[in-house]
Amino acid sequence: MKSFLIEEIKLIGVLALQGNFQSHLEILNQLGKTSKEIKFSKELDQIEGLIIPGGESTTIYNLLNREKNFAREIKSFSRSFPILGTCAGLILMSKIEDDKIVKSLNILDVLVERNAYGRQINSFSASIQLKNDSFDERLIQGSFIRAPKIISYGEDTEPFAFFQNEVVGIKSGKHIGITFHPEIFQETFIHEICFS
């Protein structure tokens, strides 16, 4: 089995404007990675990987836009370095065409529907199947918290996470977008494959 030791990437940033960023910092710590909260665009210069956490995409989007070029700087960061987006993070990385509140960064060739499983009360946890040529098939735990659904994805996008025959995670080049939260269960595998 291939082992995914995260050695190459020195410092990983976690966008820390709103949402579940603390758990991601803890996962990175667990993996022996040095990590850093990112609150301003100038801090992107210091990191070689970024996590956009779950939370509320409209709020994260509004906070990003307090700084004029933050969104644009993340987009240009994505040309060189991997980004992992969970839930609201995926929403922000996707292509959103008709959402009046959130304009996405258009980093992933993926269309999502926000809040597709219903409201907070409809949130749930489940086993998610991970399948890809580059690792052994496995199940991990994840929570779907007012989660989006992946409606469609482009040809260069590889689905690798599945729940009840639906795609809930994709890889696209060096980036990963997932609709669920693995960090709540201390699941580290997705962080490992994204930043190895």
Contacts with ligand GLN by CB under 6 A lie at 54-57, 87-88, 91, 114-115, 145-146
DSSP result, 119-179 = SGGG-EEEEEEEEETTEEEEEEEEEESS--EEEEE-TT-EEEEEETTEEEEEEETTEEEES
Helix (H, G, I), strand (E, B) or coil at 83: strand
Which residue among the candidates 183, 187, 191, 194 is catalytic per the annotation?
183
Minimum CB distance to ligand GLN, residue 78 (Å): 19
Pair 2, 35: CB distance under 8 Å: no
Contacts of 38 by beta carbon, 8 Å cutoff, 6+ apart = 13, 14, 15, 16, 44, 47, 50
Minimum CB distance to ligand GLN, residue 2 (Å): 30
Looking at beta carbons only, is 57 or 157 nearer to ligand GLN? Answer: 57
Minimum CB distance to ligand GLN, residue 86 (Å): 7
Active site residue 183: yes
Looking at beta carbons only, is 4 or 117 nearer to ligand GLN? Answer: 117
Looking at beta carbons only, is 6 or 147 nearer to ligand GLN? Answer: 147
Active site residue 194: no
Minimum CB distance to ligand GLN, residue 134 (Å): 26
Active site residue 87: yes
Which residue among the candidates 181, 187, 191, 194 is catalytic per the annotation?
181
Helix (H, G, I), strand (E, B) or coil at 61: helix
What does the alpha-carbon distance between residue 168 and residue 180 come to, in Å, rounded to a whole number?
Answer: 7
Looking at beta carbons only, is 16 or 91 nearer to ligand GLN? Answer: 91
Catalytic residue set = 87, 181, 183
